Amino acid sequence: MTDLASQGATAPLTDSDAAGPRTRRDKPEATPATGFTVWLTGLPSAGKTTIATALAGLLRATGRRVQVLDGDEVRATGSLGLGFSRADRETHVRRVGYAAQRMAARGACVLVPVIAPYAGSRAAVRTRHEAEATPYVEVHVATPVEVCSRRDVKGLYAQQAAGEPTGLTGVDDPYEPPESPDLRLDTRDSTVSACAGRLYAHLMERGLV
């Protein structure tokens, strides 16, 4: 995974999006054995990794090969030397997107709980998947910043409140929410299993599982 990349939460979670999944029409056709990428974008402590881990369990229970590309872990391997400027963040997202597409093209279910704060870099990742006919699902974990700050899994919000310049996404650094993700999850009142179950149901609707 490192070679590929170099190329290129504690509060309850629940789902109050009564409108249901948002879908796109320009999706590659898939069979149940097809690999795919699920990108979970959202603020720090939104629940991205927690939901991805739960979904990974559901997929593995059916015998699927699953790869979770956690943003912090990838930074420690495939994005060494990158900081948190806009340019470096966009480079990081493109590298992760490249690695995800390559793995998905080989049949893996790739789950990517990475903030990806800028719409342009997220669009570039989607475009790469579409160009390679690799199924791609963008999920917005739309937890409000006040809820994320209460969870504060990594202590980032506390640091920012104490006056430490963290460049914290959604607080003192921009976050551009997706306008039309494939699925939007509001985790304020849902359990982890409910959010993962809704995402799994979306994958079923797409014919990916």
| Binding site members | 42-49
Binding site for ATP, residues?
42-49
Cα 13 to Cα 105, 108, 116: the distances in Å are 31, 27, 21
Q: Rounded to whole angstroms, how far apart are CA atoms 44 and 49?
A: 10
At 121, list the tokens.
Answer: 């870099």
161's CB contacts (< 8 A; 6+ apart) are: 149
Query: Would you say 43 and 175 are in contact if contact means Cβ atoms under 8 Å apart?
Result: yes
**What DSSP element (H or E) covers 183?**
strand 183-185
Q: Rounded to whole angstroms, how far apart are CA atoms 37 and 83?
A: 25
Q: Rounded to whole angstroms, how far apart are CA atoms 108 and 130?
A: 16
**What DSSP element (H or E) covers 53?**
helix 48-61
